[in-house]
Chains A and B, each alone.
Chain A
């Protein structure tokens, strides 16, 4: 590994990046944690890392800022039908894609039609687009989007990266796979090249003049070139930032965030991501966790505020419900559930028939209380969970598995607990893990790892997604969150945080809605 780090360091030093403050060649390098990007097609992606690149290349019909406020984007104005089943949009007529194709109503229809076409293989956008029924082109720059049912959050959905508008010409000439590797949008940056696992290069779109009004920059970006470099090791990312080889790092370790901020040479930004916090899903189909008392004991046994404080040094807070507080329709009632209490946990386990055994692990009918947790996520969080659970007599067997192994265990029901998290700026995300239709089956990888069927919840989530008034929607999502908490099938642990450190030679980076992706359009030399 040391050799690998040396090689990485060598590769970095061999490719010196000029970060002169002149706007003609102003290059910024963004160091990203992932190396596993496979597609930059916004219609297909479900990866937060892929979206970091997508957010620079593409524009949306409506632009949301970090606070969720909406501004005209590719659409100059929009009007929701009174029954919430269609939206009419008037589009800008001065926009061209990077390949010269004119942006118009055809391009919007093409994008949305292809998202719902199973051949596209959409993973994220297909959930975002709602009950899309088709689009009517009313004029070259006017379009009506129709829905099968009322879809009151349609305009919110237009702000998502996943519903970015793609160049129909490029998709038709390159095909789906080709487009995924050489995306063409209308955004402030054009795609140049992608070396898998190493870096993506983007360059300024010199014709860009349709940025949203809240940006300081109007017209082409001050940034000439973005190099999106993959550096999966956090320590290496920070070292590269301090050496001046990169200007921004994502997922910066909390201790480094503090130190860098104190140094006076760097700025830090922390985004509390919307969506589902880092959580455990209890498999209710087998083993000890079938018993609600054991599940309640499991949650109650863990001191989540202390765990979050210890691991994230104050940057991430404990999570209490299936939605992060920054998600629309978050219900505050979740904060009253399953507060840490070791005695209560012990009592619940006693009531469930699990008596303390000789080795400090509880037993029932001669079987130890062992719970198997295969995971890809956060080994340190696992250790902290193990320690708290052991104190009440639960033996959490953690195995840090590969993705392939995890998928196999999920499909064959070979786990007791699964770890999960999503960055998603809409409460509709709850359907992905909680809908009864999303229980994994052989050959079908889905996310209801609790293997929990609740017809009431399915109905509530479905009505919430099509609720006609914001009040109804809040009420229905609150009901859904309450049902989930009452059943104790899901254990939120801590909020997901995106910790960005950047040199204070630059300014203007902004979080996109959802607080994960960083928009780099507005970046300029600080002076």
Chain B
């Protein structure tokens, strides 16, 4: 791994610093940016809240209580109650489980499939690459939400299908970026060396090319996470994702739509949760891309 790092990074002195110290240096440089710190803090709060939902949510998120319906935020219902008298704070806390988990699952799926395709096309090259790349261009031509809606219509509604749909819509982006990165990497001497000692194509892709595109993948994954969370919410908002009574944030926004004038908290707080999640992920992604993107790093 040492050689690999120095191979992608002309600042060879980094390779001489012990690995743990390099980790700390990275964290320090990351933390140097106040926006990124805020991002990490907010995201951690959301994740911890989602994990601890059974302990910190005062109400069952699906329990209806007609007496409280559409009630404004007060001491009992901190963020108000919806049409069925369900506690919005509890629903947001529980809803984080769906929104964040679905977002992360989506990106992981897109990342695995997309980078496999990208590495394969980039390494194999030639006619396979030419055809594959054109196909990716075609897929990139579809707006991703339209693509995702199309997939959900074919597969049926539900959160699992939403994961698949949004992932499929994101695959071409990962494939394209990873392919470009591989095109550069595969010309490196150590790849020639591996080939010279008789390593198979699969081995070169898995052992030499993949680790080298990991920084790119991390940046791309984080940047796409925000969009994945938003796309999931969009599909749920349109009624294609989470089904009642699941407290997913996008579905909650949809529930509140007709009551915006009378109970704005039904839309405001799920919208705020969504905004905070996407913002924090994007802040982190921006900082990571500054630190991990070789071109940005040289500046």
Which residues does A use to contact B, with CB under 8 Å? 1, 233-235, 253, 255-256, 259, 306, 310-311, 379-380, 382-384, 386-387, 390, 397-402, 404-405
Contacts and interface: CB of A to CB of B under 8 A. Distances in A.
A379 B62 contact: no
Given A255-B262, A384-B64, A384-B84, A399 B245 contact: no
Interface in B239-256: 239, 243-245, 255
A386 B257 contact: no
Contacts of B262: 255
B274 to A, nearest CB: 12
B66 interface: yes
Contacts of A310: 66, 69, 83-84
B237 interface: yes
A387 B238 contact: no
B244 to A, nearest CB: 5
Given A235-B257, A235-B260, A380-B83, A398 B66 contact: no
Interface string B58-75: 000011101001000000
Interface in B62-115: 62-64, 66, 69, 83-84
A400 B244 contact: yes
A390 B61 CA distance: 14
Interface centre among A253, A259, A387 (most CB of B within 10 A): A387
A379 B84 contact: no
Given A1-B237, A310-B66, A400-B239, 7 more contacts: A1-B234, A253-B259, A255-B262, A380-B84, A387-B62, A387-B84, A399-B243
B156 interface: yes
Contacts of A253: 258-259
B64 A402 contact: no
B84 to A, nearest CB: 6
A311 B85 CA distance: 11
Size class of B's contact patch? 20 to 34
A342 to B, nearest CB: 14
10 contacts: A233-B257, A253-B259, A310-B84, A384-B84, A386-B244, A387-B245, A397-B243, A401-B157, A402-B153, A405-B157
B158 interface: yes
A306 B66 contact: yes
Contacts of B66: 306, 310
A340 to B, nearest CB: 13
Contacts of B239: 379, 400
Which one of B158, B237, B261 has the greatest number of beta carbons of chain A within 10 Å? B261
A447 to B, nearest CB: 23
Contacts of B64: 383-384, 387
B258 A400 contact: no
Contacts of B243: 397-400
A382 B259 contact: no
Given A379-B239, A383-B64, A387-B84, A398 B258 contact: no
A234 B243 CA distance: 21
A398 B158 CA distance: 11
A379 B234 CA distance: 17
A382 B260 contact: no
Nearest to B243: A399
